[in-house]
Chain A
């Protein structure tokens, strides 16, 4: 499975866009990019996923580079409740388990 690299931590001011990067330079053609987050003392929460095209839903946008070697999760207007650990995961279509790394700890401040 492709591995991902994320910054350990990031800060973001409330109301501003939070842009969380992820490198997955060894991604294969059949691997999806998933983003999850885990708010303190809660189970992980699915955010969004994509294969090649950029994706947007009510929570976030996912921008995948043309070569698919990196992606960015965008929270357009961060709130204090978005403070969490954000995990970028690549997962092949042939398997279903998620391999979580250490993620990015996002701190949103007032």
Chain B
């Protein structure tokens, strides 16, 4: 079946502009995650959704970052007033929550954001 998809695949923007990044999780996956990976750096957790609610926003680096999820499916990560340090690959993942145990997360290809 279809995996996690993200759009756009690449985004170049000017400092100070707002950007929206979209994630379509695997159908039926109730959990959705955003991470980012800066050049040469490790993967950094940003936010986690269970359904439409976000019980863990601890990784959002500043109040310029926000995310929402509607209908328990598509999620949008918004970065306001972008800064050059926001340049990174933004990765979305989804997983199937099961009471019997934890499941693996399935990642999309990422959105490469470059802030000039």
Contact = CB atoms under 8 A, between A and B. Distances in A.
A35 B13 CA distance: 34
Contacts of A96: 31, 33, 48, 50, 56, 95, 102
Given A96-B33, A100-B42, A102-B42, A44 B102 contact: no
Nearest to A99: B45
B67 to A, nearest CB: 14
Contacts of A98: 33, 35, 43, 45, 105
Q: Secondary structure at chain B's binding surface: helix, strand, loop or mixed? A: strand
Interface in B6-61: 31, 33, 35, 42-45, 48, 50, 56, 58-59
Given A44-B43, A95-B56, A96-B31, A34 B104 contact: yes
B60 to A, nearest CB: 12
Chain A residues touching B, range: 20 to 34
Contacts of A49: 102, 104
Q: Secondary structure at chain A's binding surface: helix, strand, loop or mixed? A: loop
A14 B78 CA distance: 43
Contacts of A47: 104
Contacts of A51: 101
